Chain A
């Protein structure tokens, strides 16, 4: 089954279940429904039957729409990690939405009034665990074959180093959109704290604010540098903290075009050995370690950086 037909079938089935099951059980449900529960399991927010249904369906339609769009563009599914994320989100996300709808209905079933609906915390935990487990399994099964070693067109230009020369490569990258998102998120948290929305006190909003600001700032820009010492990737406007990779660890380097949809989004993605520092889609510098792992960094002018890294590695080996 192709990803597109799988997404169409499974997405339709999930949507149908989200709509049909509440309608079938409508006589046994209160109106309004309890849709949110406090930590103790007591309901603290209600919605009319129609709104509750619409919100659940809309949540799924957004996820489903992203997946369909990603499948239509094909580049998401061109790489192994992208396929893994795609199948994982399709199956895990669908089951999670279904599960959340299911436990909401279960809690509301046959109660006189929404305030009497009780949610068992273990049910929520079970839904999350099942969603994550199914997502991981689907991602693993749908990952497909390994990615091509080095794409033929990605072989960097050869660079000859002469004795008595010092050659370095420097590049930087800033994504103003990520900066804007950070600013909006930070402003939102400040508003929440100041206006006391959602019962959040200033003290409670401070840690997330600091985290959003720090993580945001550190992943909106980076500086890359190749010298005789190896590769150095500096995060944030100050280029600190930095990740250093010694030449002796590098097998080879090349440049390739990669997109956030292929690696699961923006920022630092993946696991050590298959990590990507993704600030924007497009040209990326890829290095292969001797250990077999890979690191990709989205950065301009990557082909020249890769050429210099290869030249420096070759020089070190021949010496």
Chain B
């Protein structure tokens, strides 16, 4: 599972982690039924507290993306929500646009130019 955290992201860390996991599942790395790496592994790799990862996992469970099963760990329940994924990608696109000096309005114009 490839997880990306943006160090300049102002959102709470657990939201960022949830975004990163949602993104990884949306990319097709994990299909329904696949088990996620243990929260402790994810936390160790990201260098953050395991409780933060657990909170992100719980949020994704409430969203219907993950399911928790006793003794089986955390597994993917369904496909990533299309809208949630799009919001994710749009946020990244916006970040990228800002890096090149484009404002939100410019991006909207670019999108409108696409047919």
The interface-forming segment of A164-172, A178-186, A210-218 is: A164-172
Contact yes or no, B2 A223, CB < 8 A: no
Residues on the B chain within 8 Å of A170, using CB: 1, 3, 37, 41-42, 45
| A interface residues, tally (CB under 8 Å) | 21
Residues on the A chain within 8 Å of B2, using CB: 159, 167-169, 301, 304-305, 307-308
Q: Which residue of A is nearest B30, CB measured? A: A301
The interface-forming segment of B5-13, B58-66, B78-86, B107-115 is: B5-13
A239 contacts the other chain (CB 8 A) = yes
List CB contacts (< 8 Å) of B1-30 with chain A: 1-8, 29-30
**Total A-B residue contacts, Cβ distance less than 8 Å:** 58
B46 contacts the other chain (CB 8 A) = yes
A115 contacts the other chain (CB 8 A) = no
A227 contacts the other chain (CB 8 A) = yes
Contact yes or no, B1 A165, CB < 8 A: no
- Give the interface SS of chain B, mostly helix, strand, loop or mixed: mixed
CA distance A307 to B1 in the complex (A): 12
Contact yes or no, A166 B4, CB < 8 A: yes
Contact yes or no, A172 B3, CB < 8 A: no
Residues on the A chain within 8 Å of B7, using CB: 164-166
A160 to chain B, nearest CB (A): 11
Per-position binary interface string of chain B over residues 40-78, scored 1 when its CB falls under 8 Å from any chain A CB and 0 otherwise? 011011110000000000000000000000000000000
Q: Which residue of B is nearest A307, CB measured? A: B2
CA distance A248 to B29 in the complex (A): 27
CA distance A210 to B4 in the complex (A): 41
Residues on the B chain within 8 Å of A166, using CB: 4-5, 7, 46-47
Residues on the B chain within 8 Å of A234, using CB: 41
Interface residue from A167, A172, A301 paired with B4 (Cβ < 8 Å):
A167
A269 contacts the other chain (CB 8 A) = no
Please classify how large the interface on chain B is, using the bins under 10, 10 to 19, 20 to 34, 35 or more. Answer: 10 to 19
State whether A172 and B41 are in contact (beta carbons under 8 Å apart), knowing that A167-B3, A301-B29, A304-B29 are contacts in the complex: yes
CA distance A165 to B5 in the complex (A): 6
B111 to chain A, nearest CB (A): 22
List CB contacts (< 8 Å) of A136-188 with chain B: 159, 164-172
A225 contacts the other chain (CB 8 A) = yes
Interface residue from B3, B6, B8, B30 paired with A169 (Cβ < 8 Å):
B3
Residues on the B chain within 8 Å of A304, using CB: 1-2, 29
Q: Which residue of A is nearest B42, CB measured? A: A170
B33 contacts the other chain (CB 8 A) = no
B112 to chain A, nearest CB (A): 26
Contact yes or no, A225 B6, CB < 8 A: no
Residues on the A chain within 8 Å of B30, using CB: 301
Q: Which residue of B is nearest A308, CB measured? A: B2
Task: Jot down 15 A-B pairs with beta carbons below 8 A, ordered by A.
Answer: A164-B8, A165-B6, A165-B7, A166-B4, A166-B5, A166-B7, A166-B47, A167-B3, A168-B2, A225-B41, A225-B45, A234-B41, A301-B1, A301-B2, A304-B1
| Chain A positions near chain B (C-beta within 8 angstroms) | 159, 164-172, 223, 225-227, 234, 239, 301, 304-305, 307-308
* Nearest 3 A/B pairs, CB to CB: A168-B45, A170-B37, A304-B2
| Chain B positions near chain A (C-beta within 8 angstroms) | 1-8, 29-30, 35, 37-38, 41-42, 44-47
Q: A170-B42, A223-B38, A223-B41 are in contact. List 5 more A-B contacts (CB 8 A).
A: A164-B8, A165-B6, A169-B45, A170-B45, A227-B47
